[in-house]
Amino acid sequence: MRQRIILDVDTGVDDSLALLYLLASPDAEIMGIASTAGNVPAAQVAINNLAWLELARAPEIEVALGAAEPLEIPLRTTEDTHGPHGVGYAELPAPTRRISQRSAARMWVDLARRHPGELLGLCTGPLTNLALALREEPELPRLLRRLVIMGGAFDHPGNTTPTNEWNIHVDPEAAKVVFDAFSAAPPDRRPLICALDITETIEMRPAHLIRLAERAGSHPIETVSPIDPPTARSAASNPIIRYLTDAVRFYFDFHHGYDLGYLAHMHDPFAAAVALDPALARTRPATVDVELTGTLTRGATIADRAGMWGRPPNADIVVGTDPVRFFDRMIARIGDHARTVYPGEPIGEPVGRRR
């Protein structure tokens, strides 16, 4: 059965892979995409979403523009991590599709009200627009079937400050609104949280890109490396593989630059895979809250697993998975989809740019 999803992203290199994963998944139907400011400004996120949908020859899917700023603090973006336009080195063809007339928050509320109890919410960016939607419709936690969030760090260092994970750091007030709102959710509807604790074990490497290209029947098979100049561009015959390679290579360079290895943490496609199939993850309930007043720790996510605060659990935190099983599934789905969408790219002289 296809799971109907509201996707809320700050596209982003790994958000791009999450979107491609869902488009490639026969058990997923994207009902709408909220473009949230984070990795890059909201307008650029929306353009990236439209561009990937067009490149992937996806059906018409609503892309709504989110708020320009977080709830209470100025927007911080991270082009150094995801590239000048948020999709690494990829220069995606400008989309002809247009964004929705309604806001991202309005789309959340309208879709949830129209499909009560049916929709899965998946957030892989800051929670600004979900928080705005909760202000419009406090019943959202009961209207959604389930919520999956990529965000936070619990027994694990942050990636933005020593304690903070990016999506929460960008808009801590929004995160607190969301976690508080779901405090009343019944156990089977507690948000599933994919935090850095688990997503930093999902390490994509050049070999995964090779497997993706092979699965897609793309040519030539390219091996990206840290000595590739920033001006290098994939010449893969399959356009999805070509632009995905250019996007991910920037993310490899970023992690390599911080001595994390020539790899990329696939936070968002992992959250998408868990959203479609929670059996991929082992979870533990906890009461999650967000620090808003700490001098050094503002924006940190805290998990009480022992009921010390006397408050019921409001989240299921992913504490275990099998990264190999995830990558096998992601490569199979995106690779097969790329081959289906672009079946007969000429073998030999690729249409792309030379490396």
Q: How far apart are CA 263 and CA 250, in angstroms?
A: 10
Q: Which is nearer to ligand RIB, 165 or 316 (CB)?
A: 165
Rule CB under 5 A: say whether 152 interacts with Ca ion: no
Among 53-61, 75-83, 229-237, 265-273, the segment contacting Ca ion (CB under 5 A)? 265-273
Report, in Å, the least distance between residue 340 CB and Ca ion: 26
d(CA 120, CA 112): 9
Min. distance of Cβ 327 from ligand RIB in angstroms?
17
Work out how close the CB of 39 gets to Ca ion at its nearest, in angstroms, rounded to a whole number.
6
User: Please, what is the minimum distance in Å from the beta carbon of residue 188 to ligand RIB?
Assistant: 25
166 binds, options Ca ion, ligand RIB, none, Cβ within 5 to 8 A by partner type: ligand RIB
Q: How far is CA 84 from the centre of its chain?
A: 18
- Closer by beta carbon to ligand RIB, 18 or else 99: 18
Q: What's the Cα-to-Cα distance from 294 to each of 172, 173, 200, 291, rounded to whole Å?
A: 12, 13, 25, 6
Q: Which is nearer to ligand RIB, 299 or 352 (CB)?
A: 299
Task: Look at the chain and count its residues.
Answer: 355
How many beta carbons lie within 10 A of that of residue 230, not counting itself?
10
Q: Which is nearer to ligand RIB, 125 or 239 (CB)?
A: 125
15 scored as a contact of Ca ion (CB under 5 A): yes
Q: Which residues contact 214 (CB under 8 A, 6 or more apart)?
A: 221, 335
Distance CA 191, CA 122 (A): 10
Q: Which one of Ca ion, ligand RIB, none is in contact with 169 (Cβ closer than 5 to 8 A by kind)?
A: none
How far apart CA 218 and CA 214 sit, in angstroms, is 6
Characterize 152-179 residue by residue with b for buried, 16 or more Cβ atoms within 10 angstroms of its Cβ, and e for exposed: bbbebebbbbebbbbbbbbbbbbbbbbb
The one of Ca ion, ligand RIB, none whose footprint includes residue 313, by CB under 5 to 8 A per kind, is none
What sign has the CA pseudo-torsion 115, 117, 122, 127? positive
| Residues 267-306 within binding reach of Ca ion (CB under 5 A) | 268
Question: Which of Ca ion, ligand RIB, none binds 287 (CB below 5-8 Å, type-dependent)?
Answer: none
Integer Cα distance of 271 and 317 in angstroms: 12
The residues near 256 (Cβ < 8 Å, ≥ 6 apart) are 226, 262, 263
- 70 part of the interface to Ca ion, by CB under 5 A: no
To 5 degrees, how large is the angle CA 340–CA 344–CA 349?
A: 130
Q: Rule CB under 5 A: is residue 10 a binding residue for Ca ion?
A: yes
Residue 83 within binding range of Ca ion, rule CB under 5 A: no
Please, what is the minimum distance in Å from the beta carbon of residue 64 to ligand RIB? Answer: 18
Contact partner, 70, from ligand RIB, Ca ion, none, Cβ < 5-8 Å per class:
none
| Shortest spacing between CB 15 and ligand RIB, in angstroms | 5
DSSP class of 103:
B
Tell me whether residue 160 or residue 238 sits nearer to ligand RIB (CB atom). Answer: 160
Whose tokens are 């309005």? That residue is: 106
Q: Cβ 109 to ligand RIB, closest distance in Å? A: 23
- Give the residues lining the site for ligand RIB (CB under 6 A): 10, 12, 14-15, 38-39, 124-125, 150, 159, 165-167, 267-268
* Residue 12 sits in the site that holds Ca ion (CB under 5 A): yes
